[in-house]
Amino acid sequence: MTTIRVARQKNYRVLPAIRFRFDVWLALSVAALLVFGMMMVYDTSFDLGLLVHNNPLYYFQRQLVAAALGVIGIIVIMQFDYHLLRRFSVLIMIFTLASLTFLLFFGESNFGATRGLFNNSYQPAELAKLATILYIAHWISSKGERIKDLTYGLLAFSVITGVVCFLIVQQPALSTAGLVALISFTLFFVAGAEWKQLFIVGGVGGSIFVSLMLTLPHAAARVGAWREVLRDPNQAVWQVRQALIALGSGGYWGVGLGAGTQKFGPLPAAHTDGVFAIVGEELGLFGCLIIIGLLLFMTWRGLRVARKARDNYGFLLALGITVWLAYQSLMNIAVITATIPFTGVPLPFISYGGTSMLVSLIGIGILLNISRDEALVGRVTMPQPVREE
């Protein structure tokens, strides 16, 4: 496996002439998703806002604030070298673990789950996705070949990931825990872990996940409902059935933006987990393909940023953020199309959710920061990477 070695040099400056050089296509794809998402949040929530808060713009305004804070976060992150995140990765992880623990004792229960603090305006599990990537990218890149050691590498990795996933499962949020585990496993695999380590992690982790799916009451019920869908779509649980009705009624071109009816009650959480179904109803297959195309394009640009990163830390950080958004998008679309058991995972930049929006945009800010390396090479007092086979 190819490794990347870069000489350490702590102090260097970015020349003003290249301050704003970054992956423009990545930024444009995210901007398009963001605009589309804001449009869909208003379209799917104005009636709920009027009914519950006497303000049709209630959810749109909250999402707009989160998006604005995220854009500000991108601008701020772009002003410094992303390697500074190494210094704060441990603190961010400690804060995340503390938030997840605090949530278990003082969180606000909603629909049988405890996932939010401060009137559900902050969901620690969303931050846990990015915090885990920051910490594991730092940890793996600093250990080098030592991650191949069974105890020093595998045991430490399992403890890091296991603690985060355990706290998330307690909410319960099994799908989010599975997502965090999948992201971590991907980074561990790409970093060069031994095959025997991967078999152990995959076997043990997969067994635990399947066991939880079959023993936790809410998860087992969803798996049972999914099996019924495979036998007969008419036997699907209410939310899955309504999502499929929304997708099917849209046809190729949809019934028209704003003209859908499933969002007015039949489809629960239409502005959050079910927004892709409303896209299918109102904009048809054409609209769904546009969303999927933008997500695929964003993923490709993210992988390109990772490939061109100047060191192992930048590579792992960019890869982790990219696969996080890609996996989460795939899970949401798979749920709406009844490909996998129903679970609550937001569609990045499209679904309503302030914490998800803010953290996702911060992740994009880090990606854009890493993308500046292509412009930085040879123009700052930083040696170019030496690749060793």
DSSP string, 311-323: SHHHHHHHHHHHH
Place of tokens 């713009």: 57
Q: Which ranges of 3-57 does DSSP label H, i.e. alpha helix?
A: 24-53
Q: Which two tokens stand for residue 273?
A: 């987990």
pLDDT at 386 over 50: no
Residue 389: its pLDDT value, please?
A: 38
State whether 68 and 97 are in the same domain: no
Same domain, 75 and 91: no
Residue ending a domain, among 206, 226, 256, is: 206
Q: Same domain, yes or no, for 252 and 364?
A: yes
More confident residue, 297 or 267: 297
Residues 97 and 56 in one domain: no
**Cross-strand partners of 116:** 108
Domain membership flag for residue 170: yes
Q: Residue 245 falls within a domain, yes or no?
A: yes
290 and 170 fall within a common domain: no
- Among 206, 223, 250, give the residue marking a domain's end: 206
Question: How many structural domains are present in the chain?
Answer: 2
Can you read off the two tokens belonging to residue 66? Answer: 């989160």
Structural domain ending residue among the three candidates 160, 180, 206: 206
Domain that holds residue 302: 23-79+240-375
What are 33-74's pLDDT values in tens digits? 999 999 999 999 999 999 989 999 999 999 999 999 999 999
Residues 28 and 107 grouped into a single domain: no
Same-domain status, 97 and 174: yes
Please check whether residues 252 and 151 belong to one and the same domain: no
Structure tokens, 387: 């690749």
Share of the chain above pLDDT 90, in %: 46
224 assigned to some structural domain: no
Residue 215 lies in a domain: no
Name which of 113, 136, 105 is nearest 269 in CA terms: 113
Please list, in sequence order, all residues whose beta carbon lies within 8 angstroms of the beta carbon of residue 236, skipping any fewer than 6 positions away: 225, 228, 229, 244, 338
User: Does a structural domain hold residue 234?
Assistant: no
Q: What is the pLDDT of residue 280?
A: 93
Q: What six digits make up the tokens of 211?
A: 């066991």
38 within some domain = yes
Closest CA to 216 of 117, 331, 112: 112
Q: Which tens digit of pLDDT belongs to each residue from 307-318?
A: 999 889 999 999
My answer on whether 142 and 168 are in the same domain is yes
Using pLDDT thresholds of 50, 70 and 90, give the confidence band for residue 382. Answer: very low
Same structural domain for residues 170 and 195? Answer: yes
pLDDT band at 151 (very low <50, low <70, confident <90, very high): low
Cα–Cα nearest to 362, from 148, 131, 188, 202: 131
pLDDT at residue 153 above 60? yes
Report if residue 230 sits inside a domain.
no
Given a cut of 90, is residue 319 above it in pLDDT?
Answer: yes
Q: Is residue 384 part of a domain?
A: no
Residues 37 and 109 in one domain: no
Same domain, 248 and 370: yes
Q: What is the 3-state secondary structure (H, E, C) of 158-182?
A: HHHHHHHHHHHHCCCCHHHHHHHHH
